[in-house]
Every structure is written in C-alpha cells, then in structure tokens.
Chain A
C-alpha cells in the first residue's frame, strides 16, 4: 500500500489550501454518461436515485476522477416549483415554458418544501446512498441554482432582465423567496451526504450582467445565501466570463470559481492567487470532436495555465460534459491529467 497516495478528498482539500497535492485534481462533471453506462434512456436514468448512484460509481471507477457529481439536471428545481421538464434522447433535460407568466405572479410565490418534493427527494436519497458507499474518500458535489439565476427558468430570460431593470420591488420579492428555498435545498443536500455545494450562478457572469448591476444584485444575494449554507461552496458561472468580478466573487464566501474558456486561464489564476481555487476550463462543446492528441494538448494547456502552486481543479468550463463526448475523450482526459498533472510541475517552466 502506498502511504503517500492521497484520497481524492485529501487531494482536493490540499489544492483548496493553495498548496500542491500529489497531482492536479480532476472533476469530470459527467451526468448523462451514467445513462449510457446503465443502458438506460436519459429519462429512465434520472427517474430513480439508485440509477444515478450506480451511474456515478461506475463512471468514477472508469475515469478515476476526484469527485462524485450528484447533479441530476438543471430544471430539477423548477420541477419542484411546478415547472415542466422536457427530456430528449441525446442531451440534458431542459426546462419547459416558464411558470411565472406575469410579474404579479411573484407576489404569491411560495417555495416548494424540500422534504416533501418527490424530485428533490430523489437527489437527497442519492446523496445519502453515495455517502454510505463512498464515505469520506471522495467529495460528493451537490448542486443548487443560485437565487439570482433560477428566474431564467422560472420566468424566462427576457422577462427576468426586464424585471431587474423595471421592477426592483418585485425583483427583491422574488429573491427573498428564492434565497429561502436555495438555503434549505443546499443544507438538505449537505445533511444527506453532500460534501460541498456547487452554486450555479451564470446570471452573475459579466457575459450576462454588468459589474455595476452585479454588485447591487447577484453579489449581495450570493453573500447572504452562501453565509447561510452549512458547508463549502463552489460558484460556477456555466461558461460565462468573470474576470471583471473575480475579486468580488472571492468576497461572497465561495471557495472555488468555475471559469470560462473565453478568458485567459493564467490571468484568472494570477487574479485568484490564494483566494479562490479555479475550476476549469476545458471546452466541453469542442470536446466531442477532440482527437487523442488534441485531448492531451488541451489538458496540458490548462495545467500549464493554472496548475502551479495548487488552487486549481481541472474540469470542463460549463459544469456538465455533453452526451456527445466519447468515452475515448474522457479516458484521454483522465490519462493526460495523470501524465502531466503530477506535482511538482517542472515541465511547465521548462516548456515556457
């Protein structure tokens, strides 16, 4: 037995402390691939906690990455609020027509009960089962949509932008309801077995809102919400840009930021030094057509950009690997991080 070999959790905690572990941790955020593993349709796969547990365990055994991703699908939360989920054969379930049809509906909005919602219950059950099987060796990542970003699915993006600009009173009302739900949902997942919570907040990205608006809205909301979540959080901007707000993000209390392919990883790392750990930034969309050589080169490039000194977890830039990405590419990522991600990363300076 190799006594120096770290568990995935130890590896991740070391990098979160901005120190170099044995190698760069890899978060392969695979969700839909579990259905492929089990030979099930995507709809059937997500119908039972047991399927997701089995899928996640098999995927981790295959790709040897450093987390379990207890994420079902993005519209799960709006499903709990009474919204529609649309399944397809080759992609993530998507939200249907928004359930907030006009601004006045916000006044009567009540958050769903976390303990009584069947769809949320599936996720809590899988978190509990995964914790029983995995223990403390591997971080189990739970997911919440931020109160600030959930309205994109609750009311539609365009109506939500209008609400932000034109009805600040109702915007505040919606945020109060969403914050209460988000905190309850995150804490229920942590209680069930999740190690940390990924706080998906793409609307806070400067791709979507200006820094000026963010400081008045998403920033304050994140500070209030994250402070009430009883565990560590990672803020993910789902491929949106964040450089102009990187210092602000660090002040929200989050430990990790999921960064975009559209920004320079080295610059992001320099700006985050000893404050935030960077998660990213492989291009999941392009990944479906990567050759073995491209796969290795992209992994090398990311590690060279942000690996030195720790504070870096290799992952995709969106927070979910598309269904179309092949087993060969995912295996290639796993092998490349083992080949090029062993600390110390002397080759990075040698190749510069």
Chain B
C-alpha cells in the first residue's frame, strides 16, 4: 500500500475525518477523483477489511471507516458523475432481518469505491425476487445474520436462476464466516468474508457481466 493510502487508513482508524479529508483533497489536487479513489480510498478500505477478517481490527473501526469514506467520496464523485456510468446494475439487501450493520458497511465500501447501487434494505424472498427482475439487477448482494435467513437465499437463487437476466448473487454475513461451504449450499456465485471482498469480487466479475 502506498504511503498516502497508509496515512489515510490511519486517519480512518482514528476516526479523524479532518485528516482523512485533507489527505484525500491533497491527492485530488494532482489527480482525477476516480484516480484518488482507486489509489487512496480503495487500498485503505481493502486493508481495513482484510485486517478485520484477520482479527487485527474491530468492526466498529470498519464501520466508521466506511462511513467516513462514503461521505468523502460523495463530495468527490457525486451520484450521476460520468465516471460512475460504466457499471453493472447492483443491488444490496438484508434478507429477513432488521440487523443491518453488515449491509450498511458493504454499501459504504462500495459507494466509497465509486459504485452506484440500489439499497433494498430489509426484504423478504418473494419481494426481493420481484424487485430484482423489475430492476434487471446484474449483481445482487445479500447480507444475513442468522443461519435460517442464510438458508432462505437458496429460494432466491432458485427463483432467479431461470430468468432472462439471472444476477450473480454474492452473499455475506456471520453464518458464512463460520461455514466455508454454506455459500455453495445456497447456490450463490460468491461469498464475502469482509466488506472489502465485495469490492474486489465485483471488480473481478465486471468483465463477465
């Protein structure tokens, strides 16, 4: 990770919004906004996500970092900015649960990495399937807290598998972190162990969408 991204990450972990903004502003003076996001924000968030997965950081730090980055990138690259246009249609939701922290963190990480996405919030299986079809979603991110909710994802994947625009379904949440095979059991396309995984998986899949 480059020095500025490292300093930016330290500012995020200290919940020091002013320093984080200053570092990003300095970089943006000499670079385009999208380049600043790619060279400063994305590497910092990637490292934060990875370090949480390794037990080196706490979820509270991940959440606050994502929130600060989302605010900063919102100023740098507002919705509708031409740099955001060549993206797949992405949606995110929490299935059958009011515990939204995981979804909010992934949403922030993706927005802070320059992605636009629809937020379906808490939703049940049938409504989710309908909305994905109507919105012609290409990548669907589903967050869950409980094992019973995770197993419901199978109904979503089955219902969407035979549609004209079957989305790639990426899953995440506590049950998946404790069972490496669960994502395959529910026929998901991929599983995220941390929020930064979502960013890299989407980057990897964009060529095929």
Q: Which residues of A contact B (CB under 8 A)?
A: 86, 88, 90-92, 94-98, 152, 156-158, 161, 164-165, 206-210, 213, 239, 241, 243, 261-263, 283-286, 288-289, 322-324
Contacts A94-B97, A210-B61 given; 10 further ones with Cβ under 8 A? A156-B101, A157-B100, A161-B101, A165-B15, A165-B60, A210-B58, A285-B147, A286-B179, A323-B147, A324-B148
Say whether B59 contacts A283, CB under 8 Å.
no
Q: Which residues of A contact B58 (CB under 8 A)?
A: 206-210, 213
Q: Which residues of A contact B63 (CB under 8 A)?
A: 158, 161
Q: Which residues of B contact A165 (CB under 8 A)?
A: 15, 60, 64
**A286 and B176 alpha carbons, distance in the complex (Å):** 10
**A241 and B177 alpha carbons, distance in the complex (Å):** 13
**A285 and B181 alpha carbons, distance in the complex (Å):** 10
**A161 and B100 alpha carbons, distance in the complex (Å):** 13
Task: Decide if B201 is an interface residue (CB 8 Å cutoff).
Answer: no
Q: Which residues of A contact B181 (CB under 8 A)?
A: 289
Task: Decide if B209 is an interface residue (CB 8 Å cutoff).
Answer: no
Interface positions of B from 131 to 157, Cβ below 8 Å from A: 145-149, 151
- Give the residue among B60, B96, B145 with the most A Cβ atoms within 10 A: B60
- Give the residue among A152, A285, A324 with the most B Cβ atoms within 10 A: A285
Min CB distance A32 to B, Å, is 10
A-B pairs, 5 with minimum CB distance: A91-B148, A157-B101, A285-B178, A285-B179, A210-B58
Say whether A91 contacts B149, CB under 8 Å.
yes
Provide the main secondary structure of the chain B interface. Answer: helix
Residue in contact with B100 in the complex, picked from A158, A206, A284, CB distance below 8 Å = A158
Min CB distance B144 to A, Å, is 11
A164-B60, A165-B15, A286-B179 as given contacts; A92 in contact with B99, CB under 8 Å: no
Say whether B64 contacts A324, CB under 8 Å.
no
Task: Decide if B82 is an interface residue (CB 8 Å cutoff).
Answer: no
14 contacts between A and B (CB under 8 A): A91-B146, A94-B98, A97-B98, A152-B99, A158-B104, A213-B58, A283-B179, A285-B147, A285-B178, A285-B179, A286-B178, A289-B179, A323-B147, A324-B147
Q: Which residues of B contact A289 (CB under 8 A)?
A: 179, 181, 185
Task: Decide if B207 is an interface residue (CB 8 Å cutoff).
Answer: no
Categorize the interface residue count of chain B.
20 to 34
**A213 and B61 alpha carbons, distance in the complex (Å):** 11
Q: Which residues of A contact B15 (CB under 8 A)?
A: 165
Closest-by-CB residue of A relative to B105 is: A158
Q: Which residues of B contact A92 (CB under 8 A)?
A: 146, 148
Say whether A239 contacts B55, CB under 8 Å.
no
Say whether A95 contacts B178, CB under 8 Å.
no
Say whether A98 contacts B147, CB under 8 Å.
no
**A207 and B55 alpha carbons, distance in the complex (Å):** 6
Min CB distance A152 to B, Å, is 8
Say whether A283 contacts B147, CB under 8 Å.
no
Say whether A262 contacts B148, CB under 8 Å.
no
Task: Decide if B175 is an interface residue (CB 8 Å cutoff).
Answer: yes
Say whether B55 contacts A262, CB under 8 Å.
yes
Say whether A324 contacts B151, CB under 8 Å.
yes
Say whether A283 contacts B178, CB under 8 Å.
yes
Residue in contact with B174 in the complex, picked from A161, A239, A241, A324, CB distance below 8 Å = A239
Q: Which residues of A contact B145 (CB under 8 A)?
A: 94
Residue in contact with A210 in the complex, picked from B60, B99, B182, CB distance below 8 Å = B60
Interface positions of B from 114 to 130, Cβ below 8 Å from A: none
**A280 and B147 alpha carbons, distance in the complex (Å):** 19
Q: Which residues of B contact A152 (CB under 8 A)?
A: 99
Say whether A322 contacts B147, CB under 8 Å.
yes
Give 1 or 0 for each of B99-113: 1 = CB within 8 Å of chain A CB: 111001000000000
Q: Which residues of B contact A158 (CB under 8 A)?
A: 63, 100-101, 104
**A282 and B121 alpha carbons, distance in the complex (Å):** 32
Min CB distance A305 to B, Å, is 17
Q: Which residues of B contact A323 (CB under 8 A)?
A: 147-148
Say whether A285 contacts B175, CB under 8 Å.
yes
**A88 and B97 alpha carbons, distance in the complex (Å):** 11
Q: Which residues of A contact B179 (CB under 8 A)?
A: 283, 285-286, 289
Say whether B100 contacts A156, CB under 8 Å.
yes
**A261 and B180 alpha carbons, distance in the complex (Å):** 13
Min CB distance B32 to A, Å, is 31
Min CB distance B86 to A, Å, is 30
Closest-by-CB residue of A relative to B176 is: A285
Q: Which residues of A contact B61 (CB under 8 A)?
A: 210
Min CB distance B78 to A, Å, is 23
A88-B96, A157-B100 as given contacts; A209 in contact with B60, CB under 8 Å: yes
**A284 and B64 alpha carbons, distance in the complex (Å):** 30
**A96 and B100 alpha carbons, distance in the complex (Å):** 11
Min CB distance A199 to B, Å, is 20
Closest-by-CB residue of A relative to B175 is: A285
A161-B64, A285-B147, A322-B147 as given contacts; A261 in contact with B98, CB under 8 Å: no
**A288 and B179 alpha carbons, distance in the complex (Å):** 10
Min CB distance A144 to B, Å, is 20
**A210 and B61 alpha carbons, distance in the complex (Å):** 8
